[in-house]
Amino acid sequence: MSLDEKQLAAHLSVIGNVPKTANLRTALGMKIRAWWPYYLMLLPGLVYFIVFHYYPIYQAKLAFEDFRIFGDNLWVGTKHFETLFDSRAFFQVLANTLIISAMKMAFVFPVPILLALLINEVRASGLRRFIQSAIYLPHFLSWVVIAGIFIAALSPSSGVVNEIRGWAGLSPRGFMTESGSIRWVVVFSEMWRSAGWDSLLYFAAIMAIDPQLYDAAEMDGANRWQKIINVTLPGITPTIATLFILNVGLFMNAGFDQVFNLANDAVRDQIDIIDTYVYRIGLQSGQFSLATAAGLFKGVIGMVLIVAAHTISKRLTGKGVW
């Protein structure tokens, strides 16, 4: 046994011998001393969530106040919410958020499932690893890079897409400046970036399915398609249900980084979402209270959606987030 293993064993033996009446603080301190390297690795993530997720919950009270740089803020109740709901601009960004999120849910969410099923059917391990590496790569690119790729590829003068259209005898189109196509650009760029990486979760769920189920299905004369329908899909249903609920909880988050980098003045009214609206009126215009009210509204709707999706999923499939 190595020195580290002996020290760990000693710590564990001490922890195990703590009497039931021992002070809780003492027992907690002993556990922290025993596992301090792990707590140290946990610390940066813990600080991040406290600073950027939990502390802002307390500061959400700014939605009910008029912000003052000097002195105490002035309580104004629901004034800023009334301003939001009287604004046509807010309802436009709300509609854009709902439309883009619904399009992503309908066209992006199923793609990782399909990819995982297709990858599982590839029998050559080398080819499978190559495909997985290729489709995972876009996940590690920032939206600045991805936006640059799509802007260049869809350029009406030199983009590869319009060059292909020219070979087919079609006239070039400005996909990035047309109101009828920009939302589809948002959807397909999201699909290209995230579908491969998201398929990893479903592929891992497929690998966890008992191989004996496939053997039994084969003995019953099932072909590949029947195995997918009767064995693979039921086996990954809990994973699908869980990820669907989590995606519903993020329904109001249509993708700030993506929209911010893809937007331009010609199509901003088609893809301006709540997050970019909050950024614009908060950081650019200095209306911090109004921006906080918009952000709080988005958060409350997201919480309602995830609770509703969890409840429906529990009733239909017996599986939920908790």
Q: What is the pLDDT of residue 241?
A: 85
Better-scored residue on pLDDT, 232 or 70: 232
Q: What is the pLDDT of residue 4?
A: 52
Mean pLDDT of 192-208: 92
Share of the chain above pLDDT 70, in %: 92
Spatial separation of the C-alpha atoms in residues 209 and 311, rounded to whole Å? 26
Closest CA to 101 of 194, 181, 198, 183: 183
DSSP secondary structure, 37-77, as one string: HHHHHHHHHHHHHIIIIIHHHHHGGGGGEE--SSSPPEE-T
Contacts of 306 (CB under 8 A, 6+ apart): 245, 246, 248, 249, 321
> Under a CB-based contact definition with an 8 Å cutoff, are residues 241 and 126 in contact?
no
pTM: 0.80
Q: Is the pLDDT of residue 242 over 90?
A: no
